[in-house]
């Protein structure tokens, strides 16, 4: 199957080539180089994904599909508006390990971490911002997808371009995956609680309470890291029993290659090896 996408001029005097694809071979043109991709949700999917959208991308786009002697043509209109997505998308696995959530438990997991299940548009925006995650997760429309910015064999194939890999809609009751959650900007204060000693999980919960706060949730650490550039190279307990730390300035011994919220794991809650992150509503 050969796919050709073209941006159509109003008077069709000059139509701008966007992308031509055949099998694994894809070529992009002009201003669309490195930001136009085929979504490829399945073998018959010719959907176009554009990143780094600007007002200049507004217009009519034509998709031509050639399959042997058959030819099909479709047109869509792209209207570019300002984005109202100002939160942060983060992947979440429960303490029991990856791929343990049906849709209902995925919704509950996000709520417990101070967030909601992310929409497709929110995951797409996160991908444009560099989110790369190889574990598939639920989205609010009931589909299961994951974002890849650096194609590799273990994550949908190294020959496929960057994009959102989609498993399509899954059985909300029986299927089990991770989930992508969406957290809005914080209305309170996320902080590291200075303590003279390391704490067990129960001691961490109580320490935050004693400070007039509560132990922070995973959504809050991601919001503080992504939206407020919170940076701390100390591993601390969070409400779900995980131990994590946020790095916005990569450096040796913390997160040397990238800004990220690092996870130590879900250790034995009796261990006294970590501090705690608290959250105080204002």
pLDDT tens for 197-250 read 999 999 999 999 999 999 999 999 999 999 999 999 999 999 999 999 999 999
87: its two tokens: 């939160």
Which CATH number applies to 88-183? 3.10.100.10
Cα separation of 281 and 241, whole Å? 21
R_g (Cα) of the chain, nearest Å: 22
In the block, residue with structure tokens 């946020």: 246
Whether 182 contacts 58, CB under 8 Å? no
pTM more than 0.85 = no
* Superfamily grouping for domain 2-78: Immunoglobulins (2.60.40.10)
Whether 127 contacts 53, CB under 8 Å? no
Q: Do domains 88-183 and 189-280 have the same CATH topology?
A: yes
Q: What is the distance, to the nearest Å, from the Cα of residue 79 to the centroid of all Cα atoms in its chain? A: 23
Domain ranges of the chain: 2-78, 88-183, 189-280
Domain 189-280 part of CATH 1.10.10.60: no
Task: Give the long-range contacts of residues 241-246, CB within 8 A, separation 24 or more.
Answer: 241/95, 241/201, 241/266, 241/269, 242/95, 242/218, 242/266, 243/267, 243/274, 244/218, 244/277, 246/221, 246/222
pLDDT tens series, the chain, 282 aa:
899 999 998 776 778 999 999 888 899 999 899 889 988 878 788 999 988 777 778 889 999 999 888 899 999 988 776 555 689 999 999 999 999 999 999 999 999 999 999 999 999 999 998 999 999 999 999 999 999 999 999 898 888 889 999 999 999 999 999 999 999 999 999 999 999 999 999 999 999 999 999 999 999 999 999 999 999 999 999 999 999 999 999 999 899 988 999 999 999 999 999 999 999 998
pLDDT tens for 85-114 read 689 999 999 999 999 999 999 999 999 999
């Amino acid at each position: 199957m050969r796919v050709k996408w073209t941006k159509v001029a109003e008077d069709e005097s000059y139509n701008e080539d966007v992308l031509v694809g055949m099998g694994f071979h894809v070529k992009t043109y002009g201003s669309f180089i490195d930001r136009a991709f085929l979504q490829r949700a399945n073998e018959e999917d010719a959907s176009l994904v554009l990143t780094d959208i600007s007002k200049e991308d507004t217009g009519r786009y034509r998709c031509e599909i050639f399959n042997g002697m058959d030819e099909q043509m479709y047109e869509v209109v792209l209207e570019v508006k300002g984005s109202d997505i100002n939160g942060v998308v983060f992947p979440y696995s429960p303490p029991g390990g990856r791929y343990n959530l049906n849709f209902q438990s995925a919704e509950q997991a996000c709520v417990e971490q101070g967030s909601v299940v992310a929409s497709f548009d929110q995951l797409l925006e996160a991908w444009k911002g560099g989110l790369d995650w190889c574990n598939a997760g639920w989205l609010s429309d009931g589909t299961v997808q994951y974002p890849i910015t650096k194609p590799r064999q273990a994550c949908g194939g190294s020959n496929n371009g960057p994009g959102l890999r989609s498993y399509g809609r899954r059985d909300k009751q029986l299927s089990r995956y991770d989930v992508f959650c969406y957290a809005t900007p914080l209305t309170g204060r996320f902080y590291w609680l200075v303590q003279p000693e390391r704490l067990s999980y129960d001691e961490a919960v109580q320490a935050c309470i004693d400070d007039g706060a509560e132990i922070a949730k995973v959504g809050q650490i991601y919001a503080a890291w992504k939206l407020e550039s919170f940076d701390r190279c100390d591993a601390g307990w969070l409400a779900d029993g995980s131990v994590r730390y946020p790095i916005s300035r990569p450096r040796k011994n913390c997160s040397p290659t990238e800004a990220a919220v690092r996870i130590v794991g879900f250790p034995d809650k009796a261990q006294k090896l970590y501090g705690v992150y608290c959250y105080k509503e204002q």
